[in-house]
Amino acid sequence: MSLPEEFRAGYVKQKYGLVGEHSAVKTCHWQRRSLTSGGEENCYKHRFYGIPTHRCLQMTPSLGHCTQSCVFCWRATPETLGVSWEQTRPIQRPEDPEAIIMGCLEAHKKHMTGFGGNPNVKKEMWREANDPIHAAISLEGEPTLYPRLGDLVEGFKDHGFKSVFIVTNGTAPEVLRNLSHEPTQLYVSLCAPDEETYVKTCRPNIPNAWGKVLETLELLESFSCPTVLRHTLIPKLNMSNPEGYAKLGELSNATYMEPKAAMSVGAARERFGYRDMAWFEEIQKFAEEIAAASSYNVLDEHGFSNIVLLSRLAKPIKLY
């Protein structure tokens, strides 16, 4: 089933660049800040892993398709739009990775056009921003529902991208197990310490979703690339039981854990407000509690992104 016109129109209004039938790209908040600040203000991926914020391309090959309806998710859903479409099955007519990449690059350059005449943007940074070298497959939807995900990773690297991140909710371990090409770093959004909290927070749309998430955690150790557990947290919802998060971290043997405050943006504003968000001091404290219950240590933090980095490593692996 094609995505409803109401859905697509909503994303165009939010300045997403739509690519083909099921992909999109968007300039993120931190990319804009990096450009207009002359590189002084960057996102957590720059601080933790050295990725140049202004040269990032944030995209999705699975627009409108997901196996969860998380409370904190900013994406439009049948629930929020009042229209229905098939969103939990793998994309039935997946478009070619090369066509998706070329379409994303074209849309990205269009988004960069306006920065070229901004007196606050350095010309060299603007030229570099038009030539992204990092792809974040994380913008919207669940990327494992795009059947050619490994080929997409390979395609970005063939285009000269130095790093490619995949962010998944972990409900398709079979896809990750058979991924033809690994990303540079694999993220799993693990937003609950137990099944009861998971159902309440992530609101899965498929059977045995928690079992699949646990299967994914056990699978992470087989990857050669760094792996990350991202905890998107809301007080009074899923920001409890740090020992549970610690136990799952040990189970996965992930390279990193990243406790982060959920943001009340987009469609998520209909489910929780600004006053429901965690303050950075709360995230710091919760991260320390996870560390105290595990073999992970606090390595770094980025207050502006409301995120803390934990690892067993002495320092994070710099990718640039």
Which pair of structure tokens corresponds to residue 130?
Answer: 């038009």
Per-residue confidence at 307, pLDDT binned at 50, 70, 90?
Answer: very high
Secondary structure (3-state) at 246 = helix
Q: How far is residue 204's CA from residue 188's CA, in Å, rounded to a whole number?
A: 15
- Note the pLDDT tens digit of each residue in 265-306: 877 788 888 899 999 999 999 999 999 999 999 999 999 999
Give this prediction's pTM.
Answer: 0.96
Residue 78 has a pLDDT of 74
Secondary structure (3-state) at 59 = strand
Is residue 129 predicted with pLDDT exceeding 90? Answer: yes
Q: Is 192 within the bounds of a domain?
A: yes
Q: Is 73 within the bounds of a domain?
A: yes
Secondary structure (3-state) at 260 = strand
Q: Is 149 within the bounds of a domain?
A: yes
Q: How far is residue 116's CA from residue 138's CA, in Å, rounded to a whole number?
A: 26
Is residue 1 predicted with pLDDT exceeding 70? Answer: no
Domain that holds residue 267: 5-311
Average pLDDT over residues 5-29: 92
Sign of CA dihedral 224, 137, 114, 44: negative
Residue 85 has a pLDDT of 85
Average pLDDT over residues 170-187: 98
CA 250 to the chain's CA centroid: 22
Report the candidate in 136, 238, 148 with the shortest Cα–Cα distance to residue 194. Answer: 238
Q: Please, what's the b/e burial string for 84-121 (b: 16 or more CB within 10 A of its CB; e: otherwise)?
A: eeebeeebeebbebeebbebbbebbeebbeebeeeeeb
Q: Is 319 within the bounds of a domain?
A: no
- Note the pLDDT tens digit of each residue in 136-160: 999 999 999 999 999 999 999 999 9
Contact present, 198 and 217 (Cβ < 8 Å): no
Q: Is 28 within the bounds of a domain?
A: yes
Q: How far is residue 73's CA from residue 76's CA, in Å, rounded to a whole number?
A: 8
∠ Cα 256 241 195 (to 5°): 85
Q: Poorest-confidence range of 73-77, 235-239, 316-320? A: 73-77
Q: Is 284 within the bounds of a domain?
A: yes
∠ Cα 60 62 63 (to 5°): 80
- Note the pLDDT tens digit of each residue in 50-62: 999 999 999 999 9
Which pair of structure tokens corresponds to residue 19?
Answer: 């690519």
Residue 264 has a pLDDT of 86
| CA dist 85 → 9, 77, 303 (Å) | 15, 9, 38
Is residue 77 predicted with pLDDT exceeding 80? Answer: no
Residue 256 has a pLDDT of 98
- Note the pLDDT tens digit of each residue in 191-230: 999 999 999 999 999 999 999 999 999 999 999 999 999 9
Q: Is 318 within the bounds of a domain?
A: no
Residue 138 has a pLDDT of 95
Q: Is 316 within the bounds of a domain?
A: no
Which pair of structure tokens corresponds to residue 151?
Answer: 């080929």
- Check which CATH number belongs to the domain holding 115 and give it: 3.20.20.70
- What is the chain's mean pLDDT, rounded? 95
Which pair of structure tokens corresponds to residue 38?
Answer: 């002359």
- Looking at the chain, the whole-number percentage of residues with pLDDT higher than 90 is 87
Average pLDDT over residues 31-40: 97
Determine whether 225 is exposed, middle or buried from the number of CB atoms within 10 Å of its CB (0-12, 13-18, 19+): middle
Q: Domain count of the chain? A: 1
- Note the pLDDT tens digit of each residue in 224-236: 999 999 999 999 9
